Chain A
């Protein structure tokens, strides 16, 4: 079973992240960029499926040149090879445009299964797999907390409020994973060394046959008009419990008419 895992490089969600005031896009150059944490679960799942079904795991990333770090991480976990779509024209693309680029790249690959994270930690739009499913005409099994492969039949437990939905579809298909699906492995030393020799193919929009004018800020389907830091909250009150903490807490709630 050939699997493509979609991996995005994002600014570290544990640090202060910013938009760039020159064009209202994510400030990626100045950020501490890492692999989208949610995609590690997708990689782990792809490797698990490969271990039971055989085949190859290809990593696909659309992002600036610096995104090679995320690719290396995926390769060091055990993916076999990578495709990196990088083209300055893509800068500032909306999700709709990005999905056209990813779909074009997928069309040049052989896959039975595409696995991706349920959301990125920067855009958090959490629709990329649905957009790709729509564009490629393949089924989407979304929000998986469990994936079972039985021949060409895929079974997914889609996590819901207080339970799950049992989903079924045939390959080729796209599966998006939640962080409840597995525990991603750490790259081993051997894995890190091996990753350095694994093939990474870089493709431009021209290689994909995508018109550069159809992507990027100028033709994005939505536009950020302006942004601002969230207004700072008024300085909060902090009390130390000296036997009266509960009383003060309830006093605050009463004052705010919350009890």
Chain B
């Protein structure tokens, strides 16, 4: 090997000399090449670039520590990823119809998008909800809406992912109450609750309570799920939204895993053993445009998380070491100009997610820079996944890019750069401190601005937007959300408040408040009781606001 290394080095030297001559005549397109995340890219990668990487220790085999090549032995040869399109708009009736359409079209898991009032813990008739009800997702006020949302969908036969964070306990409770009503035991439920509050303060913005309080609620949910819902992913630790806010691939890995560390520590502090809950932690990443960088990013994240869980938290169950993740293609890469081109962007991004070894995938619809997706656009997005799965052969072997000098080099580079970031955050006192000081937000805002400047200077080409533009007619066929959803929801709330046992609701809300005041109590059981008594999401969140107070977001940029 050492002998071989010298031979390669010698041959490389001679190749470099010849290349210099070529360059003298024909210079390259740019003086410097770099990834989307500003990692410098060499002209060529050879075995010398990865000679420091020990195959058995650092790469290994799929299904085995450190899982660089995938979390299962057979990966997509065994089972394809879950095709899971994020959907929700209007009322529970509207979204139920879209869900059943998607299941008919061959989708294999549901993913619920909630409207902003629901995500921020307001009922549809709250003054701040005006104009927002049913806009970016479905409006859910009470367990009655939840029953309509899942009408004719057997909860023990689908896996359901729900993008809800600050009020995650309430929505989880509604799902449980629904299962209970249909006589489905909690251990049969499969799915994921996003429940990742920390990234809300960093990037996504649907926070309610101060960070340390939100962390407690998240911890309560993870603990409750670990004990009652063995097939449920109790959190989806998300890099996606930070990436959408403008961070780099390396920052995405670093900040996501740093948030993960915070959650794991918090649940351990609450008294659980790491292997009791870590196997049900899941992750959520973006698939951006830089193809190889993205593939390397997933591989790096898997290795780094495995090391963190094994070395830092001393987890012993191999399932605790595995980073399992959902991917969504990058919404921020879509253009409003020549929107059909987004089908291709999304296709390439989805391909990187699959080659990177994802467990589930959402592909964006081409019209999403303009509006919520239309039915036709959603169908093309789903078909894109099906073409990758069934037509182009990339699923037939595990981690086909493993061993690529470039991909292995990038994997290593992203991992070590992310590790440096995590170290820095540790030194600052952890992620909650880093968020409260605004450090993470500033890092992301900086990256976003730098990226935009590159687009403006045309250092970065966006086809159809800053180059190859055409005159085009205004888009047609966009989805319009019915403006009357808000009124209909308000009407339903009126009926609900008239029909339910309001004394029982009040008692339940008092109980929620009492539990909130006692740090040692888990909030899930009293919230479940409140939901069953048909207390609304807004009422339960208000009860918690009364005890916990509210977080006020930052104004720095």
Do A and B interact?
A: no
Query: Interface on B for A, CB 8 Å cutoff?
Result: none
